[in-house]
Every structure is written in C-alpha cells, then in structure tokens.
Structure 1
Amino acid sequence: MPETPTRQLRLNAFLHDTGHHEASWRHPDSAVEHIADIAWYQDIARRVEAAKLDAVFLADSPAWYGTGYRPSNQFEPITLLTALATVTERIGLISTASTSFYEPFNLARLFASLDTISGGRAGWNVVTTYNEDAAHNFGLDGVPGNEERYARAQEFLDVVTRLWDSWEDDAVVADRASGDYVDTSKVHRIDHAGRYLKVRGPFSSPRTPQGRPVYVQAGSSNAGRAFAARNAEAIFTAHQTLGDAQAFYDDIKSRAVSLGRDPGHVLVLPGISPFIADTATQAEELYQYVNGLTVPEFGLGQLEKIAGTSLHHLELDERVPAELFGGAGNVLDNQRSRTQVVANIVERDRPTLRELLHRLAGGRGHNVVHGTPVQVADVIQTWFENRAADGFNIMPPLYPQLLDAFTEKVVPILQDRGLFRTEYTGSTLREHYGLPRPASGYAGSWPLSADLPLAGAR
C-alpha cells in the first residue's frame, strides 16, 4: 500500500430512491418496489459504511414533482437519517433543510437530535428553495428573489448557530450532591430580533457531540458562493468540465481566504454520476439503455423550468438554440446556477434536444461519466489532483447496482492509489472531513446576549 498523502478524497453517497437517472425506476433490476421500505435504505447505508465513505446525503423537495413519470419522495429526510443512524456507527448523515420554510428553533432541535442520536455524524445542507410549489405548501404565495432568500438564510443560520452555541460545553455538571444538573451561568439567551426572525433562546438542550452539525451548502449562484464562502464547511456543486470546476474551486477558496477562513476547512464536492461496467463498450451500452427508458415529456418539463421558457416547438433531433438561455453560460454573476450549467452545455456542445435531455436525465447538470472502474477512478483522481475538487458526491444512476459497482470496484482502486482511506480514523462527520470541532461562541467571543436568569442559578 502506498504511503497515505496528507490530502485525502472525501466521498459521499447521494441517496435518491432507485437512482439519480430519472428513468432508473423502469430498469428491470431497480428496487422501485422497496422505496417505501426503511429496511432497504438501512441496507444501503450499511453498504456505504462498509466501503468507508464519509457520508450519505439526502436532498429534499417538500412538494410533489407534479408528474406521474417518476417516483416521489417517500420519507422526510431527517427522520430517515435518524433511522439509518440506529443501524450504522461511522457513516456521516447529511440532510437538506430549507431556511425558507423551517423555523430556526424547530430545525435546531431536529438536527441536534440527529447529531446526538448518531454520536456526532450529522450535517445540514442549507438551502433557500426557489420552488414555487413548495412555497404554496407552507402557506406562502411564492418565493422571494435570490438575494432576499440568501439574506434570510444568513440570518437564519446565525440564529441557529447561536442556539446551538448557547450552552457552553461544560454547562452540564450533573452534581448529585448539590442537586445542580446545569450551571445556568453557562447557558445563554440569544435575544435575537432581526429583519426576518425573532428568537429569544436559549436552546433546550446541551451542545451535541460535534458542537454543531457540519454546515453544507449547495448553491453556486453568485449569492450562493458568497454565502458558502462565509459559512459552508462543505459545498455541493455541479460542473461538466474540469476547467469550470477548477474556476469554481479557486473562486470559493479565494473568497474563504479573504474572509479569514482556512480554505482547507471549506471542502468542494462536485457531483459525479458514473455508469460503470467491466468494459467501456458495456458502460456505453448501459448508458444508452437507461436513456432509452426516459419519457421525453418529463425531461422536457424539467428543462423548461431551468430555461424559463417553452421548448415544445423544438423537434427531439433538432439542435437546441443557445439563445434560449440568454447567454447565461457566459455570466459569472448568475442568479440560477443550474441554468448556467445547462447553458454551458448548449453553448459548448450544441446538442440536439434529445441529447440534452439524456445528458440531464442522469445527473440534472452534474457530471455523468461512463466507463470502466479504472476510467472512473482516473476522472476522480484528475479532478482531485488538479484542484477541481476535494472529493465528490457519488450519484449512482441506478441503486443498488451502480452503487455496488462504485464501492466494490472503484473505491479499491482509489485506495490502492493512496487517495482514499482503508479504515475510518474517527467517528464523527467532522473527523471524517478533517474539520475542527467549534467551541461555543459564548465561551469567549460573543458578549452579545444576557445570561439566562433561572431560579437557583449557581
């Protein structure tokens, strides 16, 4: 085994019912009959942990797709990850939750519970959600613009951080002789009254094993980059080419440094959706076979949401006009990051509508690769060593077959090359990611809130 380098890959398994390809459920080997079976997800989590991956990750859209062409979400993600925590010991557990729809105190309780139950393995993927259908489910007429959503998100994150930090690490004394369970001088109200939120605090329970869950962020718009550089400890992003990924990586790291942060504590993790087979020909055939299961009407509806315009006038084998995206692929100060990714594909590769729908069917703008285990490992190594990524969100097009292909055939290659662990060296998600455990802000740096006035304070 080669000597382990200082810098190691971080690898997450992105769970998505039968797979990340929109037609995966139609594959004869899919597990579509089991997507409401918690035991099936628990088995997947055990497989991921056996491969020593860093975490499993769940996205969330609190609304129905509005189509009968593919399965919808079966479980609320924090509940699902809590069930996975009970049958695993090391794998990280990252859930998406929106700052647009939750209340800070409730969200803080949910993630604190997950972090405590799992022994310090929770991560929060902070999203702002621009889905109008989701907004209607929470009594809202719509969603605000990008800048305002991120302004609320920043205030929301600040409030949740203060709630989790409102108990100092040594606040619990559990002194049976005196009867004092908590040193209330070390529990603090946050007394927050801001533009969007009003929360008194303190939090209702002590700090969790990680101090607070790992902060993850998945927006790559200009506002999203600014938010990520300030707050995120891991960033999920979508890129099609090495050059685009390198530019994003450099931008995020530079922004973090300008804010006084350690760039090594801001991990960039692009998505990769690999079709893996023993030969390149077999991988290509699998890719084409699964694409052949797609329903063009569904993919067209998704693409029209990204483009913001109707595409029904185009024939499937007609080239997609670049002007439909308004030159978004050339705009750095973009408002919708996924629009920019798709616009780049159209402007660079000039695909037909059918080809574009197939490109997006497997990864929704993330990098879709097809090849042998060595070829997939080569792509991962090239991006990692050329500072385009600190690791990857693995998005198998078909569960569980292509997850197994990755863990059983690609991971050993990465291990043999000294790029990925062969055993866990820690037990928390922060330890897996090489991140420090943050001290409570009230331990010395936040003289902004009054101590909690409780009877019998000592």
Structure 2
Amino acid sequence: MANEKQLHLTAFMRPVSLHTGAWRYPGAYPDANFNYNHLKSFIKKLEEAKFDAFFMADHLAVLNMPVEALKRSHTTTSFEPFTLLSALSQVTERIGLAATASTTYDEPYHIARRFASLDHLSNGRAAWNIVTTGNPESSKNFGQDEHMQHSDRYKRAREFYDVVTGLWDSFADDAFVRDPESGIYLDPEKMHVLDHKGDELSVRGPLNIARPVQGWPVIVQAGQSEPGRQLAAETAELVFCSPRDLKGAKELYADIKGRVEKAGRNRDHLKILPAAMIIVGDSPEDAQKRRLELDSKVHYDSAIASLSIALGCDASKFEPDGPLPKEIPESNASHTARLGVINLAEQEGLTVRQLAQRYGGYSGLAFVGSPESIADDMTVWLKEEACDGFTCTMPYLPEGLNAICERLVPELQRRGLFRKDYEGTTLREHLGLPRPTNRFFDGTATNGNGALPDTDQL
C-alpha cells in the first residue's frame, strides 16, 4: 500500500561530493566537477531514478581556507551553474535544474533574465536558490574592499526577491499575440513597467523576455540563521538545510513551517529537504567499511586541523592511531560540538586519526547502511515531520551515485515512499507547488508583509 506522503529527493551536485576525500576514492572520477561528459551521465542517471532536481551550489571566489587544505580540495574549480544547466537542459526532459545565484554581488535584472531563460530552455524546470554571499574574499572580486554586513545582506536579499519576481511578472502569459495578419506581435496593454525604487535597488523594467513557463522558477532558500529562516518563510518554496540529527531537524521543521503559516501561506507549499550524505552497502557493516575507507582518503594534516577546531584544543598532540584521550582540556569552543565529537568517538570506536578524517571529510547528516536500513531511517524522518524529503549528497562518483539510484531508490519505490514516474513536466508539478498568478494581470498582489502569493492555480 502506497504511503499518503512521499519523499522528495534532490541531488546536490556542486561540488559533486561534499566529502573532501571523494575524488581519491577507488574508482572515482577525480575530475568529475569539471568534466561535462561525466556530469551529463550523472544527471541522466538521476533522471532515470526520477529525482526531483539536480541542484548546483556556487561560489564567487576560491574558498577562503588555508593553502595546505586548499591544495587537497576538489572544490577549487567547477562550471558556472547557468552555463552548465543550460547545456544539461538539452539532454534531459523532466528533472529540475536548480542553481544558486547571489543577491549580494549580482543585479536583479541579470538574475531575472537568466532564470527566465533557463525556465524557457528547459520547458519549466528551473529553480533559483537565493543566497547572500558569506565569503569575505568574494567582495574583492567585485571591486569592493569591505564585505557587506550580515544584516545588510539579508535586507538587500529581501528587496532583491521582490524585484526579481516583479520582473518575471512583466508580461501577462498571453501578452505575445504574434498575429501575422494584423501585424501585432505584442499587446502593450499586457506589459507592466516595474519602476522599482527602494532602499537598496532601483530597477525600471520591464524584463525583455516572456513570463517563465512556471510563472516563476521555484524559489529555494538555504539559510538557517534567524533572518534566513524568516526569508525562507516569506519567499521560499524549497528549503535546503543542514540539521545534524532527527531532534534538530524536527525543531527546524516546526519553526519554519510555523513561520510560513504566520506569513499567510500554505505550509504544504514549502518543502524542507535536509542535506544528507548517503552511503549504500550490502549491509550496514559493509556501508560502514565504505565510510571508513572514504574518510581515510582525507589527508591527516588537514583532518587533524578540523578536529582541533571541533574540540577546541590542539589534537595534533594526541596519538593518531590510539583512542581519543579521556581527559580533553576545557576550552571556550562550542560545548555541544565538543561533546558530539567525544560521543561519536565512543559510539563508533574511532581512533584519533579516523575521527579527524571524519571531521575533515564530511561531518554532517549521513545515512550509512543497506538500502533497507536507509529506507527505514528515511521513513522515520518523514513520518515524524523532520523533513519533506532530502537533498542527497553523494559520497563518491560514479559508484556512490549509482548505488543510490539503482539500489536505494527501488527500495523506496517498493515501499511507496517515492514516485515510480514523473506525473508532470515542470519542477513545480514534481514538488506539488502552485503556479504563481501574475500580480499585475491576474489581480493577485503579494501579501501585506511582502510574502509569496499563495494560490492553488496549477
């Protein structure tokens, strides 16, 4: 019997794996981040498995990490998201195409044009992940010596959203008559000049492209800070987040969904998809062995630095292949994070080296087990309202991705937890989201607080 509620699954694909050692895993493609043929094969595999979307993060500068760590990172180079997703839109038919675009170092008119173009090129599969850029090194790439303050970045982002969505509504859906007999191509009565003048932005409009296929591309938001949660509640339709455990995920889920309702929106029109690395094995024990092998590919010099930060003390003085010392010096580091490290070492019997490689590789939420055990865990998260699905991060490619698509997904389908085929053609249809009405031509404006219009028009 099929479950009433099913999981939504997106694939986080820039970098192709968040794990630092992924590119060194046996059989992995070291150049996967920057090889179009590999990326094309990945998205086709994900579409065959009926994933909701292929999700690309972005960075506007080389990551600001120590050179000793940077030289071992596979995230240094990657394609610009719009260029790659535009190409991938032509070799796929149904899977959604989500790209990150910063409101801090770009302009609303650029963003509106790019996403509208991608939505048309893909016949309605585009999504915009709204971010504010946190890397202070990015400012220097855009002629600014000082990085914009956190609160100012979110203030600009909120207004930025209003401008972009307003530009998407520049034309009514039937504005382009294209009648050869009369010679009328555009009905000017169905064109709106935005003429926005705000605290942060001034944009005249209209946008020089027809309204997107989906009305608006799907809005994604990734912040977990107080202003990030509020921005998500008012604007987002899909939230990418990083809770570390079930308890934290349930608290985050309840908080954001509650804010959505206070903003006058339908809570079901925002999907929360925590990031989770998935390692599939023949058994839970086999999967754990794969995890340890993957972690072992993280160089010890950079790994021990990560462990030192987590513990708040110099872990390089500990015996690498011995257990974590019972007495760890107190520090002003996060008590919760420090206790989490100690508990993890005890629970899994990890040596200092293994623990360091875990924190130097990927220390976020992970499902490691057989297809059956992972499906069990995902069922609990869904039923206990900790998520609406997951943003799947790959452990290593191609083998790790193939195992998810060929072994885990069929188990989820067997249980009625995941679709066996796409029921629609657009990303909004995959996610069960309404198509926004046009605020200028359909008689629907944004809510009084500036929140996303909530409509059941599909």
| TM-score class, shorter | 0.7 to 0.9
Q: Secondary structure at the match of 2:58?
A: coil
Matched, 1:426 2:430: no
How far off its partner does 1:285 sit? 1.2
CA distance in structure 1 between the aligned counterparts of 2:52 and 2:77, rounded to whole angstroms:
23
* Number of positions where the alignment pairs a residue of Structure 1 with one of Structure 2: 430
Q: Secondary structure at the match of 1:325?
A: coil
Amino acid at match of 2:133: T
Q: Does the 8 Å contact 1:273/1:362 carry over to 2?
A: no
Q: Secondary structure at the match of 2:114?
A: helix
Residue 159 of structure 2 corresponds to 155
CA distance in structure 1 between the aligned counterparts of 2:339 and 2:79, rounded to whole angstroms:
34
Change (3 A) 1:347 1:250: farther
Amino acid at match of 1:367: L
Q: Secondary structure at the match of 1:173?
A: strand
Residue 437 of structure 1 corresponds to 435
How far off its partner does 1:360 sit? 3.8
Matched, 1:132 2:136: yes
How far off its partner does 1:290 sit? 1.3
> Mind listing any 5+ residue stretches in structure 1 that lack a counterpart?
330-341, 448-458
Offset from partner CA, 1:90-114 (integer Å, 9 cap, x none): 0000011111111111111111111
Matched, 1:258 2:262: yes
CA distance in structure 2 between the aligned counterparts of 1:103 and 1:357, rounded to whole angstroms:
41
Change (3 A) 1:136 1:347: farther
Residue 249 of structure 1 corresponds to 253
How far off its partner does 1:348 sit? 6.6
TM-score with structure 2 length normalisation? 0.87
Identity of aligned residues (%): 40
CA distance in structure 2 between the aligned counterparts of 1:270 and 1:422, rounded to whole angstroms:
22
Residue 368 of structure 2 corresponds to 370
Residue 414 of structure 2 corresponds to 416
Residue 345 of structure 1 corresponds to 340
Amino acid at match of 1:445: T
Offset from partner CA, 1:373-415 (integer Å, 9 cap, x none): 1111111111011100000011111011111111111111111
Residue 8 of structure 1 corresponds to 6
Amino acid at match of 1:345: G
Q: Does the 8 Å contact 2:307/2:360 carry over to 1?
A: no
Matched, 1:240 2:240: no
Matched, 1:288 2:329: no
How far off its partner does 1:32 sit? 1.1
Residue 68 of structure 1 corresponds to 71
Change (3 A) 1:195 1:302: farther
Q: Secondary structure at the match of 1:441?
A: coil
Amino acid at match of 1:121: R
CA distance in structure 1 between the aligned counterparts of 2:162 and 2:22, rounded to whole angstroms:
39
How far off its partner does 1:311 sit? 5.6
Bigger mean CA deviation after superposition, 165-174 or 198-207: 165-174
Q: Does the 8 Å contact 1:235/1:266 carry over to 2?
A: yes
CA distance in structure 2 between the aligned counterparts of 1:326 and 1:28, rounded to whole angstroms:
35
Q: Does the 8 Å contact 2:284/2:368 carry over to 1?
A: yes
Bigger mean CA deviation after superposition, 140-149 or 84-93: 140-149
Offset from partner CA, 1:70-106 (integer Å, 9 cap, x none): 2223200111111111100000000111111111111
Amino acid at match of 2:263: L
Residue 225 of structure 1 corresponds to 229
CA distance in structure 2 between the aligned counterparts of 1:402 and 1:120, rounded to whole angstroms:
29
Q: Secondary structure at the match of 1:174?
A: strand
Residue 51 of structure 2 corresponds to 53
How far off its partner does 1:131 sit? 0.3
* 1:176 aligns with one of 180, 185, 197: 180
How far off its partner does 1:441 sit? 1.0
Change (3 A) 1:323 1:192: farther
Change (3 A) 1:396 1:108: same
CA distance in structure 2 between the aligned counterparts of 1:269 and 1:69, rounded to whole angstroms:
29
Residue 325 of structure 1 corresponds to 333
Residue 387 of structure 1 corresponds to 385
Q: Does the 8 Å contact 2:312/2:338 carry over to 1?
A: no
Change (3 A) 1:283 1:118: same
CA distance in structure 1 between the aligned counterparts of 2:110 and 2:313, rounded to whole angstroms:
39
Change (3 A) 1:309 1:361: closer
Residue 212 of structure 2 corresponds to 208
Bigger mean CA deviation after superposition, 46-55 or 144-153: 144-153
Change (3 A) 1:289 1:347: closer
Residue 192 of structure 1 corresponds to 196
How far off its partner does 1:320 sit? 6.8
CA distance in structure 1 between the aligned counterparts of 2:207 and 2:339, rounded to whole angstroms:
45
TM-score with structure 1 length normalisation? 0.87
Amino acid at match of 1:198: S
Amino acid at match of 1:253: K
Q: Secondary structure at the match of 1:119?
A: coil
Q: Does the 8 Å contact 1:430/1:436 carry over to 2?
A: yes
Q: Does the 8 Å contact 2:382/2:389 carry over to 1?
A: yes
Matched, 1:272 2:276: yes
> Mind listing any 5+ residue stretches in structure 2 that lack a counterpart?
447-458
Residue 403 of structure 1 corresponds to 401
Offset from partner CA, 1:355-378 (integer Å, 9 cap, x none): 654444444x53123211111111
Change (3 A) 1:301 1:109: farther
Q: Does the 8 Å contact 2:13/2:56 carry over to 1?
A: yes
CA distance in structure 2 between the aligned counterparts of 1:109 and 1:302, rounded to whole angstroms:
40
Q: Secondary structure at the match of 1:112?
A: helix
Bigger mean CA deviation after superposition, 169-178 or 118-127: 169-178
Amino acid at match of 2:369: G
Change (3 A) 1:103 1:171: same
CA distance in structure 2 between the aligned counterparts of 1:416 and 1:272, rounded to whole angstroms:
21
Amino acid at match of 2:149: G
Change (3 A) 1:177 1:420: same
CA distance in structure 2 between the aligned counterparts of 1:387 and 1:291, rounded to whole angstroms:
31
